[in-house]
Amino acid sequence: MTDWAELNDRAVHLAAAGDLDGARAALEAALTAPAPHRAQVLLNLAHVVDLAGDRQRAADLLTEAVETGEGEVRLTAVAARADLLPWLGRWDEAWRDVEAALADTEPEHQVGLRSTRVGLLMMAGRLAEAEADAVEAVGLAARHAPEHLAGLYANLALLADEAGDERRAAEYRVLSDNPGRQPLGHRWHRFVELNTEGGVLLASGDRAGAKAAFEAAYREVGTTSTGPDDVEAVVCRAGVAGNLAGVADDPEDAARWSTEAIEAARAASAVVGDAYGSASVLLNALVSRAAAHHARTRLPEALADLAEALDLSVDGSEATVRAVRARVLATGGWFAEAAEEAGRALDLAYAGAPELAASVHLTLAEITSATGDLPGAAEHLALARDLSAATGDVAGEATALLSAARLAYLSSDVDRADALYGEADALLADDPRRRAVCLHGRAAVAVLRGRPDEALALSDRALALFPAASPLESVALHQVRGSAFEAAGRYAEAESCYAEAATSCEAAGLWHVALGMAWWRADALVRRAAAATGAERERIGRRALDLALPAALAAEAVRQRFPHGPLRERWVALAAAPATRSAFLAIRAVGDASLAAEYVDHLAGAVSLRAEGVVEVERGELVRLPAPPPAAAHLPHAAAGFATGADPAFPDAGFELPPRVRPDPATPTALDAWIDLAERRYGLGVRSERAVSSW
C-alpha cells in the first residue's frame, strides 16, 4: 500500500474515532495522491472539514473534486457539494449542478443525486415534488444503493409529519431505523394504521386502548390474508402477535402470543429472510416469552429462549437480553452467574441503552441481598430509584421503593419500611399488582408491630388484587399470612400457610427460597415448642429439627456453587447464617447435646461462623460477583432442584466435596443421617463419603 493510501485509511479511522484534527492532518498529507485517486482524498477531506464546521473550505475542496474526479467519485462529490451550497446561499447553483449531473447519469447511479435533490426540494418548500421524488428514489435505492434508504425514509417521515399524517410518519421512521426492511403492500394500509395506533397508545400509557388496537389489527390480518402462503400476512401476524404479548394480562397469554409471533417470524424468515424485519420480531418475541416463562418460574425454558435471542441480538438488543437473563438466573438461585450477566448488561446499558440501567440495578440488588449484603443491595436500589425517577419510569421507581421497604423490614426498621411502602403506594394508583405487593408488605410490617388482625386484613386486600399469583408471590403471601396467624395464636392456620408456601417453592424448583422457607417454618415451631410441655413440646421440637437441620446443612453446602474465594465464605457467614441459627435453636428445643456437638464440629470443619474480621470483601466485588472460572480450573458442584439431581444447565463438574467430621472416622454419627437426608431432600451434595477426625 502506498504512503498516500495508508494516510487516507488512517484518516478514516481517526475521523470515526472523533479525532478530526488528526484526520485532517493525515488527509492533507495524502493530497500527494496521483490524479486518479486525489479526488477521493479531496472528498474525504471535505467531509472532515465540514464536520469541523468550515463549510466554505469544504465546498472549495468539493469543487476541486468535481473538476478532477471521475465516475462514482465525481457523482458523490457533486451530490455532497450540492448538499453544502444552500447553506452558503447558493441553492440555485446546487440545483443546476444536480440537474445537469442527473441528465448525464444512468438510473442505477443516480441514487445519491436523487437523495440530494429531495433535500433541495424540501428546502425550497416544494414538498409534493420532494415526496414524489423520494418515493421514486426509494425504489432505485432498494435495487442499487441500499445505503441511502435510511436518509430517504427519514425525509419521507419529515414530509409526512409536515402533512399531519402521523401514521405514515411513524411507519417511515420505522423503515428509516430498519433501512433494509421492505415496506408492506397497499392492502395492509388499515393493518399498519391499527398496529401503529396501538404502539402510540401504549407509549402514552393507555394499555387498554393499545390492546384493543392490536386486537383489531390482528383481526385485520385474518380478513386481508389470501391464505397460509401469503408471506405479508405471516409477517403482519408475527408483528401484531408480538405486540399482543406485550400487553397480555397474564403470563399464560403472554407466552401464547409470543409463541405465535415466534412461529410466524420463523416462517416468514424461511421464505424471504429479513426483508420485512422478521429477525427483530423473532428476537423480541423470544425475550417476551422468556419473561413469561420467568413469571411462571419455568426457568430452563426461559434460559433456552434467551440463549437463542442472544445469538440473534445486535448492539442495542444485547443489553436487554442479558438483563432479562440475569434476572432469570437470580430467580433460580444461580447468583454468581446472575451477577456476571448483570455486570455485562449494566456495561452495555450505560454504553448504549441507559433506559435499562435501573432494571439491572434492581437485579443486582436482588443478588446482593440474597447473598447477605444488605448495604450493597440498598446502594443498588437507591441508584435504581434515582434513575427511574430521572427518566419518568414510575413503575421502576415504585419497584425500587418496594424492594427498599422490604430491606427495611428485614432489618426490623418498621418505621422506615412503613414510610417507603407509603411512598410506593402513592405512585401505584393504576397498578393493582404492585399495589398488592405494597399491601402485602404493610401486612408484614403490621406483624412486626404486633398487630396480627390488621396484618390479615391487609393480606386479604392484597389477595383480592392478585388474579393469579406467581409462585414467588404465592410464597411471600402465604409466608406473611402464616406469620400473622402465628402472632394471633392460630398455629394450625399458620402451619397450613407455611406448608402452602413450601409446596409452591418445591413445585417451582426454587431451591434457595425453599431453604429460607424451611428455617422460617422451623423458627415458628421452635417458638411454639417453647410454650408447650411434655410430649407436645417434643413433637413440635422434632418437627422443627426436621425442617431446620437439613436446610442448614444444604444452605452451608451451597457455597460449592460459588467460585473459590471470600465470596463463598460470605455466603455461609451471612446468607446461610439464619438457617444455621435456626438449626441450633431446633437442636436446643429437643435437648440433643450430642447432635449439637456434632453440628459444631461439622461447621468448624467447613468455614468460619463469623463474617466480622474474617471475610473482607471490597464493595466492588459484591456489586459484581465474579463469574465461575472454567470447569477445568474450578470444577464447581452445581446445586440444583429437588430430588432430580443436578440442573442440566449447570451440571456437576466433579468438584470434590469436603469430608464428614466424626470423633471416630470409621463410626457414623447421628449427623451423618441428617446429611444424607439433606442431600435427598434438596438434591445437592453436602459432604463426601470420606471422613476425618474431629477436634
pLDDT tens string 523-536: 888 988 888 889 99
Query: How many Å apart are CA 275 and CA 217, to the nearest integer?
Result: 21
Tell whether the model's pLDDT for residue 653 goes beyond 50: no
Estimate the crossing angle of helix 55-68 against helix 35-51, to 10 degrees: 160
Query: Which of 167, 213, 64, 197 minimizes the C-alpha distance to 175?
Result: 167
pLDDT at residue 650 in the model: 40
Give the Cβ contact number of residue 124 at 10 Å: 14
- Which contacts qualify for 534-543: CB closer than 8 Å, 24 or more apart? 537/589, 538/590, 540/589, 541/586, 541/589, 541/590, 542/590
pLDDT confidence tier of residue 333, bands split at 50, 70 and 90: confident
Least confident segment among 13-22, 408-417, 556-565, 681-690: 556-565
Percentage of residues of the chain with pLDDT beyond 90:
31
Q: How far is CA 537 from CA 335, 498, 542, 637, 674, in A?
A: 38, 19, 9, 38, 21
Least confident segment among 5-9, 171-175, 249-253: 171-175
Overall size of the chain counted in residues: 695
Q: Identify the top-confidence range among 16-25, 377-386, 611-620.
A: 377-386
The more confident residue out of 624 and 408 is 408
Q: How far is CA 345 from CA 338, 562, 649, 685, in A?
A: 10, 20, 20, 32
pLDDT at residue 626 in the model: 35
Query: How many Å apart are CA 74 and CA 43, to the nearest integer?
Result: 9
Tell whether the model's pLDDT for residue 628 goes beyond 90: no
pLDDT confidence tier of residue 393, bands split at 50, 70 and 90: confident
Query: How many Å apart are CA 442 and CA 306, to the nearest integer?
Result: 35
User: In what helix (H) or strand (E) does residue 691 lie, and over which residues does it extend?
Assistant: strand 691-693
pLDDT confidence tier of residue 274, bands split at 50, 70 and 90: confident
Tell whether the model's pLDDT for residue 658 goes beyond 70: yes
Q: Detail the DSSP E strand segments found in 249-401.
A: none
pLDDT confidence tier of residue 652, bands split at 50, 70 and 90: very low
**Residue range 367-384: average pLDDT?**
88
Q: pLDDT digit string (tens) for 491-519? A: 889 989 988 888 888 777 777 788 888 88
pLDDT at residue 565 in the model: 60
Estimate the crossing angle of helix 670-682 against helix 511-530, to 10 degrees: 130
pLDDT at residue 239 in the model: 92
Cβ atoms of 226 and 233 within 8 Å: the answer is yes
Cβ atoms of 659 and 687 within 8 Å: the answer is yes
Tell whether the model's pLDDT for residue 638 goes beyond 50: no
Q: pLDDT digit string (tens) for 434-462? A: 888 889 999 999 999 999 999 999 999 98
pLDDT confidence tier of residue 326, bands split at 50, 70 and 90: very high
pLDDT at residue 19 in the model: 84
Tell whether the model's pLDDT for residue 322 goes beyond 50: yes
Query: Which of 596, 598, 616 minimizes the C-alpha distance to 608?
Result: 616
Average confidence score pLDDT of the chain: 83
**Residue range 76-98: average pLDDT?**
87
Query: How many Å apart are CA 236 and CA 261, to the nearest integer?
Result: 9
pLDDT at residue 282 in the model: 94
Query: Which of 649, 517, 621, 477 minimizes the C-alpha distance to 563?
Result: 621
pLDDT confidence tier of residue 352, bands split at 50, 70 and 90: confident
**Residue range 179-183: average pLDDT?**
61
pLDDT at residue 291 in the model: 94
pLDDT at residue 146 in the model: 73
pLDDT confidence tier of residue 642, bands split at 50, 70 and 90: very low
∠ CA 325-326-330, nearest 5°, is 115
Number of Cα atoms under 13 Å in the Cβ half of residue 598: 22
Query: How many Å apart are CA 609 and CA 603, to the nearest integer?
Result: 7
Cell digits of residue 349? 446499558
Q: How far is CA 31 from CA 25, 37, 54, 71, 117, in A?
A: 10, 9, 19, 19, 30
Tell whether the model's pLDDT for residue 664 goes beyond 80: yes
Q: Identify the top-confidence range among 4-18, 77-91, 622-636.
A: 77-91
pLDDT at residue 649 in the model: 39
pLDDT at residue 177 in the model: 65
Query: How many Å apart are CA 348 and CA 336, to the nearest integer?
Result: 19
pLDDT confidence tier of residue 425, bands split at 50, 70 and 90: confident
Q: Give the DSSP letter of residue 65.
A: H
Q: pLDDT digit string (tens) for 120-179? A: 888 888 888 888 888 888 878 777 777 777 788 888 888 888 888 876 787 777 667 655
The more confident residue out of 472 and 669 is 669
Cβ atoms of 356 and 345 within 8 Å: the answer is yes
Number of Cα atoms under 13 Å in the Cβ half of residue 309: 30
Cell digits of residue 673? 443421617
pLDDT at residue 647 in the model: 45
Tell whether the model's pLDDT for residue 639 goes beyond 60: no
Cell 442448614 maps to which residue? 552
Q: Identify the top-confidence range among 227-231, 331-335, 417-421, 655-659.
A: 417-421
